[in-house]
């Protein structure tokens, strides 16, 4: 008997994982689009799709890897732990409820934290 999980067995679980990724990407795009409109960009949609990493040099410290700060790293680690705990320790209606309420809130907050950190770095690079 093994308790370890392999890949998801049902297509619904794959759609959930894909939905989490899509929610994160859409939130980041929406925040970038809104910021571009606020800054008066001529084409805010195009500006929102531009690669943010092209402007940034390697500013991350080696201890945080590709994350820009410990807050960002801890946010992603904490969010991932909560999502894994929800998926592993709950079943049925409770799991569905938490996956439809708590997990999207965590994903949106992580996308906002990531966007805010990237925006701060962009503004810092412009002024130096």
Mean pLDDT value across the chain: 75
Angle subtended at Cα 103 by Cα 119 and Cα 70, rounded to the nearest 5 degrees: 40
pLDDT band at 1 (very low <50, low <70, confident <90, very high): very low
Residue 99: inside a domain: yes
**Running DSSP on this structure, what letter comes out for residue 41?**
-
Residue 104: inside a domain: yes
Residue 63: inside a domain: yes
What's the number of domains the chain is made of? 1
Radius of gyration of the chain (CA): 18
Residue 1: inside a domain: no
Tens digit of each residue's pLDDT (9 = 90 or more) over 23-63 = 888 998 888 888 888 888 888 788 777 755 444 444 544 45
Residue 3: inside a domain: no
The CA distance from 122 to 90, in Å, is 41
Residue 4: inside a domain: no
The pTM of the full predicted model, rounded to 2 decimals, is 0.67
Lookup: tokens for 127: 């002024």
- Is the pLDDT at 2 greater than 60, yes or no? no
Greater model confidence, 112 or 61: 112
What distances in angstroms separate CA 53 from CA 13, 60, 76, 121, one per listed residue?
Answer: 31, 12, 19, 10
Q: Domain containing 22: what range?
A: 14-127
Lookup: tokens for 91: 């079943």
Residue 8: inside a domain: no
Residue 48: inside a domain: yes
């Amino acid at each position: 008997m093994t308790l370890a999980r392999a890949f998801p067995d049902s297509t619904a679980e794959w759609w959930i994982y894909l939905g989490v990724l899509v929610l994160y990407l859409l939130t980041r795009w929406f925040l970038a689009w809104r910021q571009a409109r606020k800054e008066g960009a001529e084409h805010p949609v195009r500006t929102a799709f531009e690669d943010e990493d092209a402007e940034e040099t390697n500013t991350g410290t080696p201890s945080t890897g590709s994350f820009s700060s410990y807050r960002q790293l801890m946010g992603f680690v904490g969010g991932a732990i909560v999502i894994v705990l929800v998926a592993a320790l709950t079943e049925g209606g409770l799991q569905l409820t938490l996956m439809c309420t708590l997990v999207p809130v965590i994903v949106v907050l992580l996308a906002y934290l990531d966007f805010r950190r990237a925006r701060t770095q962009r503004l810092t690079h412009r002024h130096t």
